[in-house]
Amino acid sequence: MGRLFVFLVILLNVGVMMRCNGGKTSVYVRQVDKTIDMPLDSDVFCLPPGYNAPQQVHITQGVIDGTAVIVSWVTPDEPGSSLVVYWPENTTKKKVAEGKLRTYTFFKYTSGFIYYCTIRKLEHSTKYYYEVGIGNTTREFWFITPPPVGPDVPYTFGLIGDLGQSYDSNRTLTHYENNPLKGGAVLFVGDLSYADNYPNHDNVRWDTWGRFVERNLAYQPWIWTAGNHEIDFAPEIGETKPFKPYTNRYHVPYKASGSTEPFWYSIKRASAYIIVLSSYSAYGKYTPQYKWLEDELPKVNRTETPWLIILMHSPWYNSYNYHYMEGETMRVMYEPWFVQYKVDVVFAGHVHAYERSERISNVAYNIINGQCNPIVDQSAPVYITIGDGGNLEGLATNMTEPQPSYSAYREASFGHAMFDIKNRTHAYYVWHRNQDGYAVEADKMWFFNRHWHPVDDSTTADS
Ligand SMILES: [Fe+2]
């Protein structure tokens, strides 16, 4: 009996230790309403007044250093003006840039007239106003260009993924807009409209999504990553060209970084070097994406841009039972590079929940040595899954148990995050859940830069 008691005490202690090592699974209890899309007559989808008025206005960064902006919009009824009129604040001298126009068809759907126009040679840290449209349907917006690229330039990025167009999506966007940190640009980790969940991939839902997000996208750039819901591959209705609606509607500056496809590219913004990768393009050895990334990583000058951030859609480290190990083949190909080049953080989406890892790597395995466990590695990035934008597919609530030791925090709630770079050594990262007030921080971490301050920044070591 005495021995049994001692055995039970030891077992209990081992159990407690295992829980301590496994990071935190939030016990936050959320509302479990079904996630449904907003109906077509919702106010967030309403048309701007006037015949053929420009709609779905959005901007993204236009060149590597942030001195250009790509403006895009749609006129629904007929071709209109492809001109963008723009001028810096406090001047009256207006400039004009001419864009291009395109349309596309998808099964029985024909798009409106989609314009995209790159405005170049902009001054840094300057507020610009711009107009699109003709006569009484002219619409005016503004944006602020980023500061010059440099090592200690502070900058605040928002992080949103898998947004969709549900009531929860609207809450996520509203929370981001009201975040007291005030993001200057959004790093979007893929899955935009979820139009492909509708019969025949009803592309009307691409239009409604464009009108829904215009209230933010017309005023600050979103940096795009392609997700699986951008593939829109539908051979049963004759649509065999992947990414057709996405590439027609959301232009990215991929050629500026030597990329040959819009699905992988890089930009610099303030003190950050951002590399966008494609989980849904070939990434094996000898492929265009592989060769591009192999050439790209050595180009990152951490003296100019200390923060190396990578975006992708399908996460490599994911302890939910949804999309489990889907990112594994890409991890096998690229993880040694991420460790070699000391990537600070990798943001992914796809799993409709939130998770943050410790700094870990799993690169020792070579088929025969059996060394296939993630290990703590201070040269490795933190992996963050932020696919909790709120789309109609709902939350991923089912987690693998026990929580792996590398998983620092996980919670099945909708929300968004901010990456607030202070200088070359420190960045403040915070995740917000939609049920809280705008300023409430649900998970947070001080990032120490891997090049300039590579000391242990783990949050569970001292918890
Ligand atoms: Fe996805």
Residue 243 forms part of a structural domain: no
Q: Is residue 299 a contact partner of residue 272, using CB atoms and an 8 Å limit?
A: no
**Residue 9 confidence (pLDDT) above 50:** no
In a domain, 242, yes or no: no
> Residue 163 Cα, ligand 1 centroid: separation in angstroms?
10
DSSP-assigned letters across all residues of 358-369: -SEE-----SSS
SS3 412: coil
**8 A C-beta contact, residue 367 and residue 11:** no
d(CA 336, CA 53): 50
The count of structural domains within the chain is: 1
Q: How far is the CA of 387 from the centre of ligand 1 (A)?
A: 8
pTM listed for this prediction: 0.94
Residue 337 within a domain: yes
Q: Which of 8-22, 117-131, 220-234, 255-269 has the lowest mean pLDDT?
A: 8-22
- Is 320 among the domain residues? yes
Confirm if 414 and 353 have CB atoms less than 8 A apart. no
pLDDT at 210 over 80: yes
Output the CA torsion sign for 311, 314, 320, 322: positive
What are the residues whose beta carbon lies below 5 Å from ligand 1 (ion)? 191, 227-228, 350
Centre of ligand 1 to C-alpha 190, Å, is 7
Q: Residues 225-281: pLDDT tens digits?
A: 999 999 999 999 999 999 999 999 999 999 999 999 999 999 999 999 999 999 999
C-alpha of residue 385 to centroid of ligand 1, in Å: 11
Please state at what angle helix 167-177 crosses helix 204-217, rounded to 10 degrees. Answer: 20
Percent of the chain with pLDDT over 90: 91
> Which of 357, 353, 327, 325 is CA-nearest to residue 344?
357
Element (H, E) at 258: none
Q: Measured in angstroms, how far is the CA atom of residue 313 from the centroid of ligand 1?
A: 7
What is the CA(352)–ligand 1 centre distance, in A? 8
pLDDT the model gives residue 118: 98
Query: What is the CA(162)–ligand 1 centre distance, in A?
Result: 6
Q: What is the CA radius of gyration of the chain?
A: 23
Q: Is residue 244 part of a domain?
A: no
- Retrieve residue 53's tokens: 């008025």
Would you name the residues annotated as active-site residues?
323
Of 221, 222, 227, the C-alpha closest to 194 is 227
Judged against a pLDDT cut of 90, whether residue 173 lies above it is answered with yes
Q: Is residue 293 part of a domain?
A: yes
What is the sign, positive or negative, of the torsion defined by CA atoms of 357, 361, 365, 371? negative
Chain-centre distance of CA 361, in angstroms? 22
Question: What's 157's domain CATH number?
Answer: 3.60.21.10
Residue 355 lies in a domain: yes
> Which structural domain range is residue 400 located in?
149-190+263-462
In this predicted model, what pLDDT tens digit does every residue of 178-189 receive, in sequence order?
999 999 999 999
Tokens 């935009």 belong to residue: 192
CA distance 428 to 154: 11
- Is 199 within a domain? no
Report the C-alpha gap between 259 and 440 in whole angstroms: 39
